[in-house]
A and B are shown apart, each in its own frame.
Chain A
């Protein structure tokens, strides 16, 4: 399947993600340490959505994105739950890490 990428849209979306990550990098020096893991996984979710908009779609990426968005806000309410959520994300990664088979 040939991908048709809207370069201007992609560049704009990546620029916004870059802004999110760079500003997070600066601000996290002074912020709640738990915001670090939150911003990392949230950036992953944003990246997957950007790729999806440009036609890069996969079940495992979509699964990761949906799981991140479903659990990321535990950081605001329940630290233990947030930690379990991050562990479960790694489990999901392992479940889908069939790298060799996909080559």
Chain B
């Protein structure tokens, strides 16, 4: 799989085929996720994988951004106690969510390479998801990723470039 193709062709997929994703496939995606960089090499991310339809339906009750019926949902979490221990306040409040996002992007691109569709979801109730997933104290869900074989690929939204890139110091560039 060409990296540029994966970067440009990946879409946020919200309609899925009724087809399971194997555990081995999901394990490859998780392996891709943990090869992401992390601040201070903290690697404090944690991943909870749901493939049981009843568990997915339950998590959807408190996750309005989880649309469609994905074959799997991956909760990308952070151990904030470990993040603080390793990176102090910056580690807990800034690096932890950034690291989770970088791991998630790896996962999305790996999923695309496997022919899978994904959607990253931040629209969920933190405490509700934590309770339903029975997360240990200090483990916080940062993002949810829905995963499955796509039934429909949405068109690519236009990319904004005007004023986005600045080379060198430029007054009034923001």
Binding site for B on A (CB under 8 A): 15-16, 19-20, 23-24, 26-27, 31, 35, 39, 42, 73, 76-78
A78 to chain B, nearest CB (A): 8
Number of interface residues of B (CB under 8 A): 16
Cα–Cα distance between A51 and B128 once the two chains are bound (Å):
27
Contacting B60 at CB < 8 Å: which of A20, A26, A76?
A: A20
Cα–Cα distance between A26 and B65 once the two chains are bound (Å):
13
Cα–Cα distance between A96 and B51 once the two chains are bound (Å):
41
A82 to chain B, nearest CB (A): 12
Q: Are A77 and B64 in contact (CB under 8 A)?
A: no
Consensus secondary structure, chain A interface: helix
B100-143 with Cβ < 8 A to chain A: 123-125, 128
Is B14's CB within 8 Å of the partner chain A?
Answer: yes
With A76-B157, A77-B157 as contacts: A20 and B12 at CB distance below 8 Å: no
With A16-B60, A19-B62, A77-B157 as contacts: A27 and B14 at CB distance below 8 Å: no
Contacting A77 at CB < 8 Å: which of B62, B128, B154?
A: B154
Binding site for A on B (CB under 8 A): 12, 14, 57, 60-64, 67, 123-125, 128, 154-155, 157
With A76-B12, A77-B154, A77-B155 as contacts: A27 and B61 at CB distance below 8 Å: no
Q: Select from chain A the residue with minimum beta-carbon distance to B57.
A: A16
Q: Are B154 and A15 in contact (CB under 8 A)?
A: no
Further 14 A-B residue pairs, CB within 8 A, beyond A16-B61, A20-B60 = A16-B57, A19-B60, A19-B61, A20-B61, A23-B61, A23-B64, A23-B128, A27-B123, A27-B124, A31-B123, A35-B123, A76-B12, A77-B154, A78-B157
Q: Select from chain B the residue with minimum beta-carbon distance to A43.
A: B64
Task: List residues of chain B with CB within 8 A of the CB of A35.
Answer: 123
Task: List residues of chain A with CB within 8 A of the CB of B155.
Answer: 77
Cα–Cα distance between A78 and B157 once the two chains are bound (Å):
8
Contacting A76 at CB < 8 Å: which of B64, B128, B154?
A: B154
Q: Are B124 and A23 in contact (CB under 8 A)?
A: yes
Cα–Cα distance between A31 and B64 once the two chains are bound (Å):
11
Cα–Cα distance between A49 and B67 once the two chains are bound (Å):
15
Cα–Cα distance between A42 and B63 once the two chains are bound (Å):
14
Q: Select from chain A the residue with minimum beta-carbon distance to B64.
A: A24
Q: Are A73 and B62 in contact (CB under 8 A)?
A: no
Cα–Cα distance between A26 and B157 once the two chains are bound (Å):
28
Task: List residues of chain B with CB within 8 A of the CB of A31.
Answer: 123
